[in-house]
Structure 1
Amino acid sequence: MAESPPAAALRTGTAAGRGTLLAAILASGMVFLDSTVVNVALPHLGADLGATVAGLQWTVNGYLLMLAAFVLLGGALGDRFGRRRVFLIGVVWFSAASVLCGLAQSVEWLIAARFLQGAGGALLTPGSLAVLQASFHPDDRGRAIGTWSGLSGVSTALGPFLGGWLIDVLSWRWIFFINLPLAVPVVLAALRWVPESRDEDAARTGRRRFDILGALLGALGLAGVTYALIDAPQRGAASPVVLTAVLVGVVAAVFFVLVERRRGTGAMLPPVLFHSRLFSVLNVFTVLVYAALGGFSFFLAVYLQNVVGYSALLAGLATVPMTVLLLVGSPRAGALSARIGPRLPLTVGPVVAAAGLVLLHRVSPGASYWFDVLPGVALFGIGLTLVVAPLTASVLAAVADRFAGVASGFNNAASRAGSLLAVAALPLLVGLTGEGYAQPAALTTAYRGAMYWCAGLLVAGALLAALGVRKGPFLYQKR
């Protein structure tokens, strides 16, 4: 077997470059796929396992919580102990947890397995992007990241279609088993072609401590707020349990900030990253945009099946235009952003996506796909296409290369946290509780309100980009 080329030397036209890109795309694709594929299955697994709305929320949020809380630690582990090594561990872990999800016999079992699956995803997700950032020659890095962004984004949109087909033909359980045949080529390609890389400063100084306390405080903060939002409809907002959960979440978040500031460069999230104003702005922008995407994905698939009358496959097919737009448009959006700067795409994209959601709120029983569903889905897809690649490239350009793992990890955490909080909060905001997802009247009211809330989040993101991102093509100075 030929020796892998040294880090930061791979070219996209070589076998090693293509193999490394394949491994990164397939691995991140598994994680992104499972971020959306479950939404199509919610009505089916809810009926099969006797789940309430809260059970469905935790099925989605158990996975998102672990991703959001521990993807930071996953990025730091890769930077310090080797990005390829941690990446491979994450792939194997994620695949094993997927099998447990597919074998679930109760909603509690499924939620627990989803927590484990999210932990595996937290190891491999930042690794897939950090491997590209650290392995490819600077001249080819932008092209590699653009390809990764486009094809990984496609897997996010492809999830509902693939999941719908598997659910109708086989069972909802196969949306998890499908990860196994994807994991095999990832492992083989990574072992054959992906070069090992790490933060050499950490290796040279012997700094091997891990910020476990920071990771746990971050997880506790998100878990407390999420639990309160999901449990409030059943117990009441003034319930001692709900108030305690909020208090625990807020206190944990405050201590997380204090611990990270005290640890400085040894922190899981080094405060030096936020010396870059761009990095801070882009991550707030990420929370807003992905909150809208998370809420849209959670409600649309259930609504199309339980109100409009679509099968799981048809509900998945409804979002195929997003897949096509992301596949064709993301590399072009990345190239455009490189020429003119990210400000315009990050401002226009969310506004276009918001217009799509406003159109989608009108969908009702018996609606025509071509005249009622497609225009909104297409607009949402165009807006998302304008955002994904420029956002990813801008986040990595805002920090020094040696922070590639932790920077990508934090940006992934921001995106998952946005989706997590949206899925937890939106049912409460629109009054969807108990088994309301199975009642057409209740679900219709909730769905329409959710589309407006998601559109508002996108508009807020557009305003932030317009005011907080500078004009013109530029690279931000490394800190």
Structure 2
Amino acid sequence: MMQNVFVEVRERTARAGLRGYRLLALTGAALAYFMVQLGMVPVAITLPTVAREFQVDIAQAGWAMTAYLLVLAALALPAGRLGDILGYHRVFFVGVVVYGAATVLTGFAGSMAQFIALRAVQGIGGAILLGTTFAITANAVPESMRGRAVASTAMAASVGSMIGSTTAGLAVTYLNWRWTFFFLLPIAVVTAKIAWDMARSAPSTTERRSTRIDIPGTVLFVGVLVTLVLSLNHLHEGPETFEAGWGYHTTMQVLAAVLLALLLVVESRAIEPLLILRHFRNGLFSSALAANIVLHITMASIFFLLPFVIQRGMVLPPLYISSALVARQILDISAPALSGWLYDRTHSRLIRPIGMAVICSSILTMGLLATELSYVGLVVMTVLTGFGSGFFVTTNNTVILSALPQGERGFATGMLETTRQLGHTVAVVVVTAAMGLALGGQDSGAVLPRTYLEGFRYACFAVAATSAAGIVLASLATRRMRALAEKQAPVPAGVRSGE
């Protein structure tokens, strides 16, 4: 009898410890995403003020955004794989420290060169966090709770975006742009403490140990991403068009293709590869990643287009832009919760296609009514895209994470972030091409408002067609694929399914 009592006490203690770890993991993951968004979104608002203080033009100041996003895109996957190899919690803690320290130091920058360099370091910390956060989230909970867990992180990111936009405006108006970065210090300290406690209380089965790091694969992967992103930027002499810089763009894209071919050869022979090629044979995983690219093409396109259509097409003041974006973000916060709850309850294959269909129909409507659409109508359609995005992204992220084994979810998380950044990059090309087709090389000061609305129409049609492809990709999950994903997603040790 005494032996049974001891066993029961030990089991209760283990369950209590696991619940405590789960709370730490979900809180730490949510705070990490909140912190990254809080430190990323305000930069676009403060950049004109920073450029004026350091007496540089906007083009030079724009490298602060480019450096951050370039480093983030290139290092998210290596960071995720580092988590697979060394343990997610230790890598995550390093990411919190690097991101928090770099953000605060950015507030002390004494020149634009320092500002850009510190933003790049901030990108390193952000890549580490974004490359490990979802892996920690997915491994901390049983499969029956995974949708809601992923939703909590997505909601935290949206809240961070909203608060970041607000604090940046207040700091620039009433304090100093530097306070935009100083505000992050207490959040970074709290997140670092949680990350430390999380690492100490983590069940041993959630950490994987190895000594193999794929250096050649990492170098080649970073090279591919950097050359690809730079090939889509106009870093050449003459007009900023692809026709004027065809030599530069073609050379960079050929270089990216060569590096990609070398990467595939190296990874196919690596013992512990950065790019785990066998997982791309998993149809559910690959189609969900492709759908993630489509999602972020559509969403980034909307963010890029709204300022033009509202300020230059509808001839309304900038305040109207902020109002439209805030209205969109409200549903971007609430929709993930609904989607995560539905997915956990039903595992329905219809959730993702429905979310993408809402996005597609809303953007198509904006395109069809571009020259007649009122501001209120534009806001309504924009809000619907926010709902569709939030409804889609939680389930799609959960599907991607559940498609891989527990010890390789850093790879899944890294690919999530890589495809997100790739979608943003492609969106710039799509929007630029569509607007350029409408403007026809005219000087921006001489362009009539209706011309901007026509450009908006072309862009919406292109993005709607892209999102229609996303509906198809989101519908590819067959029962066999779903069964494979659930079979590959073991429940953490000590957790009973449905607990």
In the superposition, the TM-score normalised over structure 2's length comes to 0.79
1:228 is aligned to 2:231:
yes
1:134 is aligned to 2:139:
yes
How far apart, CA to CA, are the structure 2 residues paired with 1:155 and 1:248?
Answer: 37
Offset at residue 197 of structure 1 (A): 6.5
- Which runs of structure 2 are paired with 1:178-327 in the superposition (5 Å)? 178-194=183-199, 195-196=201-202, 203=209, 207-231=210-234, 233-234=239-240, 236-237=242-243, 239-264=246-271, 266-301=272-307, 304=310, 308-311=315-318, 315-327=321-333
Q: Which residue of 1 aligns with 2:488?
A: 478
Q: Read off the aligned partner of 1:252 and give its amino acid letter.
A: L
Does the 8 Å contact 2:87/2:207 carry over to 1? no
Residue number among 335, 342, 351 corresponding to 1:345 in the alignment: 351
Offset at residue 283 of structure 1 (A): 0.5
Q: Which runs of 5+ in 1 are unaligned?
A: none
Q: Which residue of 1 aligns with 2:92?
A: 87
- Which runs of structure 2 are paired with 1:35-184 in the superposition (5 Å)? 35-41=40-46, 50-51=56-57, 56=62, 58-103=63-108, 110-137=115-142, 140-156=145-161, 159-170=164-175, 172-184=177-189
Residue number among 471, 477, 482 corresponding to 1:469 in the alignment: 477
Offset at residue 448 of structure 1 (A): 5.0
CA 110–253 in structure 1, closer or farther in 2 if over 3 Å, else same: farther
Q: Read off the aligned partner of 1:403 and give its amino acid letter.
A: E
Q: Read off the aligned partner of 1:453 and give its amino acid letter.
A: A
How far apart, CA to CA, are the structure 2 residues paired with 1:424 and 1:33?
Answer: 26
Q: Secondary structure at the match of 1:210?
A: coil
Offset at residue 226 of structure 1 (A): 2.1
CA 384–215 in structure 1, closer or farther in 2 if over 3 Å, else same: same
Offset at residue 254 of structure 1 (A): 1.8
How far apart, CA to CA, are the structure 1 residues paired with 2:145 and 2:338?
Answer: 15
Does the 8 Å contact 1:82/1:196 carry over to 2? no
How far apart, CA to CA, are the structure 2 residues paired with 1:478 and 1:404?
Answer: 11
CA 429–180 in structure 1, closer or farther in 2 if over 3 Å, else same: farther
Does the 8 Å contact 1:9/1:136 carry over to 2? no
Q: Read off the aligned partner of 2:274 and give its amino acid letter.
A: M
Residue number among 13, 18, 39 corresponding to 1:10 in the alignment: 18
Does the 8 Å contact 2:137/2:149 carry over to 1? yes
Q: Read off the aligned partner of 1:460 and give its amino acid letter.
A: A
Q: Read off the aligned partner of 1:341 and give its amino acid letter.
A: H
1:27 is aligned to 2:36:
no
Offset at residue 340 of structure 1 (A): 4.0
How far apart, CA to CA, are the structure 2 residues paired with 1:124 and 1:154?
Answer: 17
Does the 8 Å contact 2:48/2:58 carry over to 1? no
How far apart, CA to CA, are the structure 2 residues paired with 1:364 and 1:160?
Answer: 29
Residue number among 392, 395, 404 corresponding to 1:399 in the alignment: 404
How far apart, CA to CA, are the structure 1 residues paired with 2:34 and 2:392?
Answer: 18
Q: Which runs of 5+ in 2 are unaligned?
A: 1-12, 490-499
Offset at residue 395 of structure 1 (A): 0.7
Q: Read off the aligned partner of 1:19 and give its amino acid letter.
A: L
Does the 8 Å contact 2:356/2:467 carry over to 1? yes
CA 180–130 in structure 1, closer or farther in 2 if over 3 Å, else same: same
Q: Which residue of 1 aligns with 2:389?
A: 384
How far apart, CA to CA, are the structure 2 residues paired with 1:221 and 1:104?
Answer: 30
Q: Which residue of 1 aligns with 2:4?
A: none
Does the 8 Å contact 1:427/1:446 carry over to 2? no
CA 390–202 in structure 1, closer or farther in 2 if over 3 Å, else same: closer
How far apart, CA to CA, are the structure 2 residues paired with 1:465 and 1:121?
Answer: 28
Offset at residue 353 of structure 1 (A): 1.6
Does the 8 Å contact 1:146/1:334 carry over to 2? yes
How far apart, CA to CA, are the structure 2 residues paired with 1:75 and 1:253?
Answer: 19
How far apart, CA to CA, are the structure 2 residues paired with 1:469 and 1:340?
Answer: 14
How far apart, CA to CA, are the structure 1 residues paired with 2:463 and 2:447?
Answer: 21
How far apart, CA to CA, are the structure 1 residues paired with 2:174 and 2:31?
Answer: 24
How far apart, CA to CA, are the structure 2 residues paired with 1:464 and 1:136?
Answer: 27
Instruction: Report Cα offsets for 1:6-53 as digits up to 9, x if no partner.
Output: 899633xx5x43333222101112223455444455666677765456
How far apart, CA to CA, are the structure 2 residues paired with 1:443 and 1:280?
Answer: 37
CA 37–424 in structure 1, closer or farther in 2 if over 3 Å, else same: farther
Does the 8 Å contact 2:352/2:392 carry over to 1? yes
How far apart, CA to CA, are the structure 2 residues paired with 1:269 and 1:121?
Answer: 20
How far apart, CA to CA, are the structure 2 residues paired with 1:440 and 1:161?
Answer: 32
Does the 8 Å contact 2:227/2:256 carry over to 1? yes
How far apart, CA to CA, are the structure 1 residues paired with 2:142 and 2:353?
Answer: 30
Q: Secondary structure at the match of 2:486?
A: coil
Does the 8 Å contact 1:230/1:425 carry over to 2? no
How far apart, CA to CA, are the structure 2 residues paired with 1:439 and 1:106?
Answer: 35
CA 413–92 in structure 1, closer or farther in 2 if over 3 Å, else same: same
Which piece of structure 1 moves more, 327-336 or 96-105?
96-105
Offset at residue 104 of structure 1 (A): 5.4
Does the 8 Å contact 1:39/1:160 carry over to 2? no
Q: Which residue of 2 aligns with 1:454?
A: 463
Compare CA radii of gyration and give the structure with the larger one. 2
Q: Secondary structure at the match of 1:477?
A: helix
Which piece of structure 1 moves more, 431-440 or 167-176?
431-440
How far apart, CA to CA, are the structure 2 residues paired with 1:51 and 1:358?
Answer: 37
Which piece of structure 1 moves more, 429-438 or 283-292?
429-438
CA 136–103 in structure 1, closer or farther in 2 if over 3 Å, else same: same
Instruction: Report Cα offsets for 1:298-336 as digits up to 9, x if no partner.
Output: 343566567644446x53332223333233321221222
How far apart, CA to CA, are the structure 1 residues paired with 2:242 and 2:220?
Answer: 26
